[in-house]
Amino acid sequence: MKLFNTTAFFAALTATLITVTLVLLGSRNLQNYDAALVAYLFGTLFAIFGVVYRYSVWIQRPPTKVYLKSSIRTLFSKEFIQCSWFSLKDFVKNILFQSFIIKRSKKKGIAHLMMAFGCLMAFAITVPLTFGWIHFTLVPETGLYPNVENIYTIHFFGFEMSTFPINSFVGFMTFGALNWCSVLVIIGATYFLQKRLKDPGLISTQTFEADILPLLLLNLVSITGLGLSLNYKFMNGKAFEFMAVSHAFFVIVFLIWIPFGKFFHIIQRPAQIGAHIYKEIGKNTGMQVCKHTKKEYTTRLHVTDLKEITTELGFNLQNNAGDSLLEYSPEGKRDLLAIAHLQARQTSGTYFG
């Protein structure tokens, strides 16, 4: 693989510059920008650059390109109607509620769902704050007297949106939701951590940086985040500085790690929908019948595309007669090997040796 990918670099640069522009616009030239968040902002910008770079490199690979091309083709064809309802259902079922993980194991599925919801909600809350798109101001009169309930104004892109009292549902969600996200993530990540320390199958194949580190990071981010609130509420802000710095540290490591490590699967996962759509529309081309077993095994479209992908990758699975190995089902291919093996034994004059 090439070390430097120019297309990916420019895609990443463009995405980062667009984000910077939106930060400037949203915070009205940083007028409304909370300086305490600047370290998070740099972490996020790095993550955006890295994610877009890796994503662009990824979609340029021959097998991925096929799915991308097919998805775009579908988007602009009459099959789009056929697929839109299907995709929506698929999105809710598999991306939102991750039913395929629940089927693998109920406990794992629920723990993963907690982690995923916690993380995605936390992103949805913190990213607009970090970008300065949303900020809150205290209605001055309500801050003057200790026995009057504080009322806050919410601003979006510098426009006043609405006001809410601190002790309302909106107030609770705004200032307390992150704590709930932390709790969800801690439960989910701890479940997986103990599993990874106990399950012999996982122990034999896992590595620290690919599997344990991400779970530790999630826990550290959430615990220090929760610590900030607890500290503020119950310890009168003692050690707040320490908590704030350690939380920022772990969040930034988390952000920087997104493009490189396990967290990248969050970005890759929606491709699953693409694969499902591909299978659906592939049926319109008919099913491929195995030359040996005479049974259907995949769509014709799939076989045609795989021929192209393997050729592009430098594998030539065609024989002299112009037949392709890809026209045999997995079972058919196993049989071909067994037949060749038997023939070799027969030619040698003995079945065993």
Residue 207 binds other proteins, judged by CB under 8 A: yes
Residue 206: left if φ>0, alpha if ψ -120 to 50, beta else—which one?
A: beta
> Interface with other proteins by CB under 8 A: which range of 23-31, 160-168, 170-178, 324-332?
324-332
Helices (H), the chain: 6-26, 38-59, 62-75, 79-90, 99-104, 106-130, 140-144, 169-198, 200-205, 213-234, 240-257, 264-268, 271-282, 300-312, 330-348
Among 145, 198, 201, 234, binds other proteins (CB under 8 A): 201
> Interface with other proteins by CB under 8 A: which range of 119-127, 158-166, 232-240, 315-323?
315-323
Closest CB to other proteins among residues 124, 313? 313
Size of the site for other proteins (CB under 8 A): 67
User: Residue 15 CB, nearest distance to other proteins (Å)?
Assistant: 21
Residue 86 binds other proteins, judged by CB under 8 A: no
User: Residue 176 CB, nearest distance to other proteins (Å)?
Assistant: 30
Residue 5 binds other proteins, judged by CB under 8 A: no
Among 9, 42, 46, 58, binds other proteins (CB under 8 A): 58
Dihedral sign of CA atoms 289, 294, 297, 303 in order: negative
> Interface with other proteins by CB under 8 A: which range of 39-47, 120-128, 170-178, 193-201?
193-201
Closest CB to other proteins among residues 153, 324? 324
Tracing tokens 């009459």 back to the chain, one arrives at: 78
How many C-beta neighbours within 10 Å does residue 149 have?
Answer: 11
d(CA 172, CA 180): 11
> Interface with other proteins by CB under 8 A: which range of 73-81, 123-131, 205-213, 217-225?
205-213
Is residue 283 within 8 A of residue 277, CB to CB? The reply is: no
- Residue 140, classed as helix, strand or coil, is helix
Closest CB to other proteins among residues 5, 324? 324
Among 149, 160, 199, 241, binds other proteins (CB under 8 A): 199
Residue 324 bridge partners (DSSP): 318
Residue 205 binds other proteins, judged by CB under 8 A: yes
d(CA 110, CA 113): 5
User: Residue 97 CB, nearest distance to other proteins (Å)?
Assistant: 13
Phi, psi for residue 33 in degrees, rounded to 5: -85, 135
Cβ density class 266-293: b for 16+ within 10 Å, e for less: eeeeeeebbebbbebbbeeeeebebeeb
How many C-beta neighbours within 10 Å does residue 14 have?
Answer: 11
Among 28, 61, 195, 196, binds other proteins (CB under 8 A): 61
Is residue 56 within 8 A of residue 85, CB to CB? The reply is: no
Residue 326 binds other proteins, judged by CB under 8 A: yes
Closest CB to other proteins among residues 160, 312? 312
The count of C-alpha atoms lying within 13 angstroms of the C-alpha of 301, restricted to the half-sphere facing its C-beta, is 15
Closest CB to other proteins among residues 138, 342? 342
Site for other proteins in 89-118 (CB under 8 A): 94, 100, 103-104
Residue 353 binds other proteins, judged by CB under 8 A: yes
Site for other proteins in 251-280 (CB under 8 A): 262, 265, 268-269, 271-272, 274-275, 278
What is the four-CA torsion angle of 274, 280, 281, 287, rounded to 10 degrees? Answer: 130
User: Residue 62 CB, nearest distance to other proteins (Å)?
Assistant: 8
Nearest C-alpha neighbor of 212 from the set 194, 198, 187, 193? 193
Which residues make up the interface to other proteins (CB under 8 A)? 58, 61, 63-64, 66-67, 94, 100, 103-104, 199-201, 203-207, 262, 265, 268-269, 271-272, 274-275, 278, 297-298, 302-303, 306, 309-310, 313, 315-319, 323-326, 328-342, 344-345, 347-348, 350-353
